[in-house]
Amino acid sequence: MIKEEFRRGIITENPILVLALGLCPALAVSTGVKNGLGMGLAATFVLVSSNLIISIAKKWIPARVRIPCFIVVIATFVTIVELVMKAYLPELNKQLGIFVPLIVVNCIILGRAEAFASKHSIGRSVLDGIVMGLGFTFALTILSAIRELLGSNSLFGLKVFPGFEPMTIFILPPGGFLTIAFVMAAANYLGRKRKSSKS
């Protein structure tokens, strides 16, 4: 059961690579592995926390105001993340910029609140937040590693291949689109291959 949930979040229903959700921050912050990991973990914290609160409070939230209520819950946790990052990780906060507060309107988080947390038990909602958050973090880290390696010849800011000439396009917006296209294509190819081998 738990193994299947992790497979769902990271592979079969990966928010970025399969469902194509949250592409804006994925393209904007994936220029370095630190940025990708930071954004992924921040979004995971918000996703797990908001799923927990929404699942607990779903009986008391009137249907006609559920979306505004969800946004207030999500915004509360985003504010916590932003304040913690400003206090303890100011450099990362500066690198991520406007995309930390924009977690409030990230369609992955709002979508999971509406489609899952508001309809399921607390335990399942928290597990869903964890696996979808890890899937988001996994995809962001892969994209960031490829872009940083090819665009800057570094990982975590450390040089990797002596003599390799970086291709600057990969740390620019066109490189983000190219990288995400190839990684999504590879993920979809592997997904189809896995399905055909089962049947």
Q: Is the pLDDT of residue 104 over 90?
A: no
**Alpha carbon distance 152, 147 (integer Å):** 8
- Cα-based angle 113, 138, 83 (whole degrees, multiple of 5): 60
Please tell me the pTM assigned to this model.
0.90
Angle between helices 173-198 and 122-152 (to 10 degrees): 130
* In the chain, domain spans: 2-139
As a whole number, the mean pLDDT across the chain is 90
Amino acid code (one letter) for 75: A
Beta carbons of 23 and 37 less than 8 angstroms apart = no
79 vs 5, residue with greater confidence: 79
Q: Is the pLDDT of residue 199 over 70?
A: no
Q: What is the per-residue pLDDT for 107?
A: 83
Kindly report the backbone phi and psi dihedral angles of residue 58, in degrees, each rounded to the nearest multiple of 5, phi listed first: -55, -30
